[in-house]
Amino acid sequence: LQARQLVAEGAIRVRTDKKPKIVLTAIGAYQLAEVLKASGRLLDRKIPHSVVCMVEPRRFAEPRSADEQACCVSKKARDAFFPASAQVRVFVTHTRSGRIQGLLQSVDTGAGTLALGYRNAGGTLNEAGMLFVNHQSWAHIVDAVGRLAKVRRASLLTKEEIAVLDGKTSPHGVVIA
């Protein structure tokens, strides 16, 4: 059922609260795994949010023609995935972040929207390391939510996790399992 919805609509809601204040959107399988970990931290902190898995971001853009209109989701559908109550929106994408933010202007809240994407950072030989150096780990996502929602870092992350994000200690065993 979810696979059919994903193909039909270009995205699915993986989890949602009735009035989410935050929408975390994953574009990519590795990104979804990190978004779900970040969602777990937000659940622990009782922060209402939703998680969206998106496979066709172009369908959520403003259509440029009648032909594109036929392929894009309706405003009603966009609003269902990205409700007005959720002024904080974090997109985690396997592509470059600027391209996704440009494409998804229709759901951009301005200062409350951020995309975390490929930063051309390398030097790792595994997925967790790649996500970390490109600032797409669950901890980077939680940190981004805190900045956008104006929530103190210390209420979302431990001292050790903050030290990792600040480059003061290794992420292994703290952010990377």
DSSP states of 125-148:
SSHHHHHHHTT-SHHHHHHHHHHH
Mean per-residue pLDDT of the chain: 95
- φ, ψ for residue 11, nearest 5 deg: -165, 160
pLDDT for 17-59, tens place per residue?
999 999 999 999 999 999 999 999 999 999 999 999 999 999 9
Average pLDDT over residues 157-161: 98
Q: Are 81 and 16 in contact (CB under 8 A)?
A: no
When pLDDT is cut at 50, 70 and 90, the band that residue 159 belongs to is: very high
pTM: 0.95
Residue 78 pLDDT > 80? yes
pLDDT at residue 125 in the model: 78
pLDDT at 97 over 80: yes
- Answer positive or negative: Cα dihedral of 94, 98, 99, 105: positive
Q: How far apart, in Å, are the Cα atoms of 131 and each of 12, 43, 70, 124, 171? A: 22, 22, 35, 9, 11
Inform me whether the pLDDT recorded for 124 exceeds 80.
Answer: no
